[in-house]
């Protein structure tokens, strides 16, 4: 392994308000989790009991309340609601305040978070990817150059300078669910992000080979690209409770076709009611040995940064259970 194994926690911004989520992050660090990753949503996947705090404000607060853990977005879309120059300024500031602790995780976005806010027609995947590629190039230039002149297909800046920049630029991790974005992650990303529970063939036959292909085409070291995966886990001493906890995230079990074009959290919530087996996206267990074996295939594929996303409302209970029964076993076996 080029990267040592890192074990992190997903801060579910769609499920908890910012103050409660911040307290969980502090607890996670105290219990040995090495990173915390927040989603950047304007609207949650459900209206009832939903939340959507502003990720960049939360990251700044989390940086002040913690001292060691890596903090990042999983993921932010720097192409519609946010102009990439503003993202560059915001994450440069975070990088100055919390050096070597901040990561910008980016993706092509979801209509749920963009269409209602800026009133656009949701573009096809090709345009969304081209925007992401261009935005990433612009952000990197703003982190390394003064008086940047940029005339792209979608974005334009005239003599722009980000004045407060960290000594080392903030790493950019690229999220991908398909071959094109995964290839881009290999070409330009410092890291690659995906999620568990989508069938092992997706990782072995599509995503990881595409990251490698992109890296090799750009004369980059595939092994140097950090491979991060959000692992959907529902672990509890009570298996029935673990199963029941997945219900709140039933929308995750909807197909891409069922979710695309949905702009209203109430509609997404209604569609999720039709899901009869929400647990299929989660590694559900009450037995530590069994749970380690559920996680093992992802590590054996080469993922070295595992970010655990637990669906239940009692996150403090999960964090304590996981730190006592799962994290030590993972570190003992894989280092």
Q: Could you give phi then psi for residue 192, rounded to 5 degrees?
A: -125, 135
Between CA 134 and CA 151 the distance in angstroms is: 10
- Regions of the chain short of the pLDDT cut 70: 1
Helix axes 327-334, 315-325, angle to 10 degrees: 40
CA distances from 134 to 53, 161, 184, 296 (A): 27, 18, 11, 36
Set 41, 291, 309, 310: catalytic member = 41
Set 14, 29, 34, 110: catalytic member = 110
Does 305 qualify as catalytic in the annotation? no
Residue 12, pLDDT score: 96
CA distances from 156 to 22, 96, 137, 142, 187 (A): 36, 25, 12, 12, 23
Closest C-alpha among 301, 312, 304, 306 to residue 326: 306
Structure letter (DSSP) for residue 308:
E
Residues 6 or more apart whose CB falls under 8 angstroms from that of 184 comprise 129, 132, 133, 174, 176, 214
Closest C-alpha among 93, 104, 60 to residue 193: 104
Burial class, 198, CB count within 10 angstroms (exposed 0-12 / middle 13-18 / buried 19+): middle
Question: pTM of the entire structure?
Answer: 0.96
Between CA 152 and CA 164 the distance in angstroms is: 24
Residue 290, pLDDT score: 98
**Cα angle 256, 262, 268; round to 5:** 85
Domains of the chain: 6-74+225-334 (3.20.20.30), 80-94+106-169 (no CATH)
34 token code pair:
């090495």
Structure letter (DSSP) for residue 326:
T
Q: Could you give phi then psi for residue 35, rounded to 5 degrees?
A: -155, 160
Residue 91, pLDDT score: 98
Residues 6 or more apart whose CB falls under 8 angstroms from that of 208 comprise 182, 227, 301, 302
Between CA 229 and CA 224 the distance in angstroms is: 16
For residue 176, the number of C-alpha atoms closer than 13 Å in the C-beta half-sphere is 29
Does 110 qualify as catalytic in the annotation? yes
């Amino acid at each position: 392994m080029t990267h040592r194994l890192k074990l992190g926690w997903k801060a579910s911004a769609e499920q908890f308000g910012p103050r409660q989520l911040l307290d969980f992050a502090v607890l996670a660090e105290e219990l040995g989790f090495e990173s915390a990753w927040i989603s950047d949503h304007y609207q949650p996947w459900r209206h009832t009991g939903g939340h959507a705090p502003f990720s960049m404000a939360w990251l700044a607060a989390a940086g002040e309340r913690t001292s060691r853990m890596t903090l990042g977005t999983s993921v932010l879309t720097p192409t519609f609601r946010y102009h990439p120059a503003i993202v560059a300024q915001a994450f440069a500031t975070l990088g100055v305040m919390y050096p070597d602790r901040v990561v910008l995780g980016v993706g092509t976005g979801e209509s749920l978070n963009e269409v209602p806010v800026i009133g656009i027609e949701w573009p096809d995947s090709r345009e969304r990817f081209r925007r992401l590629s261009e935005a990433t190039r612009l952000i990197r230039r703003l982190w390394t150059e003064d008086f940047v002149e940029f005339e792209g297909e979608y974005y334009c800046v005239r003599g722009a300078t980000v004045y407060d920049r960290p000594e080392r630029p903030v790493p950019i991790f690229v999220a991908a669910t398909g071959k094109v974005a995964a290839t881009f992650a290999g070409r330009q990303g410092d890291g690659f992000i995906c999620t568990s529970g989508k069938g092992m063939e997706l990782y072995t036959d599509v995503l990881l080979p595409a990251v490698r292909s992109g890296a090799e085409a750009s004369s980059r070291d595939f092994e140097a690209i950090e491979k991060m995966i959000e692992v959907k886990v529902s672990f509890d001493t009570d298996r029935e409770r673990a199963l029941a906890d997945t219900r709140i995230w039933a929308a995750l079990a909807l197909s891409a076709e069922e979710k695309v074009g949905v702009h209203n959290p109430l509609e997404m919530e209604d569609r999720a009611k039709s899901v009869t087996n929400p647990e299929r996206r989660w590694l559900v267990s009450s037995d530590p040995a069994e749970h380690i074996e559920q996680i093992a295939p992802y590590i054996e594929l080469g993922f070295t940064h595992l970010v655990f996303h637990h669906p239940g409302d009692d996150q403090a209970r999960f964090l304590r259970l996981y730190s006592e029964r799962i994290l030590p076993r993972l570190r003992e076996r894989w280092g």
